[in-house]
Structure 1
Amino acid sequence: MSTDDFLLQDSMENGGIQLTNIDSFNAIKCSWVKRYLDNTNTSKWKLFYQKILKKYGDSLLFECYISNTILHEIANENIFLADVLSAWSDVTHNLETKTNSKTVLWINKDITSNNKTFFYKDWFERSIKYVDQLYDYRIKDFHSFDDICYMYGIPSNNFLKYYPLIKSIPIHIKSEINTNNTPCTQTTFVENILGRKRKK
């Protein structure tokens, strides 16, 4: 097992995600994610996988609890990539559930309408990524569509996108937001792994 694999088994304070020894096989897959997300990595293999992932938001996928539908679509192009994404999604989702981390809106298997996940590329490009960004903690409810338009520059004709999205956010996610009381500022595991160095 490589140094990266052991690093992923390290504590979150040291830049890992606390994988146990039992998860060593998943650690190997997760270490691939770390190499892929490294902005200094310009390898040809990265460009190959990047071409596939850009269709689904690229690095956003590593923050999502990915739906099986999306995984099947990716598997049709590359089984290895789908396998890595599945392992990464399962491991990080389980840990983030325990640590009350951010919940991503897009391509989230818990947020669906007619068995389809959401991904509004234009909203994502306006930096809308997490559920709590749509939530008004002052009134303990989601912002009105007019508020969202004002805050993020969303076109007013997008109201048919907003209400189905809000309606599809399940009760347990809403309850977690209400329990937090304040906007979640904890970094995601992707941010944690890339932004922190192993202590000497």
Structure 2
Amino acid sequence: MSFEIILPDHRVQRQSVDNYKEKKPSETENGGIQLTNIDSFLNAIKCNWVKRYLDNANTSKWKLFYQKILKKYGDSLLFECNISKYILHEIANENIFLSDALSAWCDVTHNLETQTSSKTILWNNKDITSNNKTFFYKDWFERSIKYVDQLYDYRIKDFYSFNDICYIYGIPSNNFLKYYTLIKSIPIHIKSEINTNNTPRTQTTFVENILGRTKQNK
């Protein structure tokens, strides 16, 4: 997994004494001094740390310390998610630097091309909450459940029944409440956009073909 970050080369200009009263930004030729935007500079440093953390070739021992903190959120998955401030505050209780790095990562990636709702990640998503808390089912994630549309049946334009989910992903039968709490927490605008998406992912199409054949054989 790799991420490409394009940091804008923001510059701020110090106003010269001559035009300060007019409140106009000074030009270089008029004596102004171009200075690096400090916020962008610091965010770049923090994001560079994130890239080192996500580098699978990096086997430094310091990664083990942060992996222990991030494990309950899906480790590197967290850097792909639409993170809530609640998670940042929770992480900050254990490590302020890590919270700052995640916050910087969110700021920088916020303006990148947005994904379609069918690619919306379920976990740690600030738009998918229950009692103001986001979701992360570690055992479900380990079964390759990651995106909203993996729970969605394009044939009937609604979410799969719990029985279908158990069959497809091998979810334990006692996870009934967990499943319905999750799908009921997915906001209407995400459901509506999925309904208008007529191009399900390859994995979803494959699953629906299996379900169709299974029901025909019964």
TM-score, length-normalised on structure 1? 0.77
Stretches of structure 1 lacking an aligned partner (at least 5 in a row): 1-13, 186-200
The one-letter code matched in structure 1 to 2:122 is L
Higher relative contact order (CA 8 A, sep 6+): 1
Q: Distance in 1 between matches of 2:180 and 2:128?
A: 13
Kept in 2, the 8 Å contact 1:19–1:27? The answer is: yes
Q: Distance in 1 between matches of 2:102 and 2:129?
A: 19
Match of 1:160 among 151, 172, 177: 177
Larger helix percent: 1
1:20 aligns with 2:8: yes
Match of 1:70 among 87, 98, 120: 87
Match of 1:92 among 74, 86, 109: 109
Kept in 2, the 8 Å contact 1:65–1:93? The answer is: no
Q: Distance in 2 between matches of 1:160 and 1:182?
A: 29
Kept in 2, the 8 Å contact 1:63–1:89? The answer is: no
In structure 1, the partner of 2:46 is 29
TM-score, length-normalised on structure 2? 0.71
Which one has the largest radius of gyration?
2
The one-letter code matched in structure 1 to 2:8 is T
Same amino acid, percent of matched pairs: 84
Number of aligned residue pairs: 171
Kept in 2, the 8 Å contact 1:65–1:107? The answer is: yes
Distance change (3 Å), C-alpha of 1:178 and 1:24: farther
In structure 1, the partner of 2:149 is 132
Match of 1:56 among 70, 73, 92: 73
Stretches of structure 2 lacking an aligned partner (at least 5 in a row): 11-39, 203-218
Q: Distance in 2 between matches of 1:31 and 1:180?
A: 35
Structure 1 runs of 4+ with >4 Å offset: none
Match of 1:181 among 198, 207, 214: 198
Q: Distance in 2 between matches of 1:179 and 1:92?
A: 26
In structure 2, the partner of 1:10 is none
In structure 2, the partner of 1:169 is 186
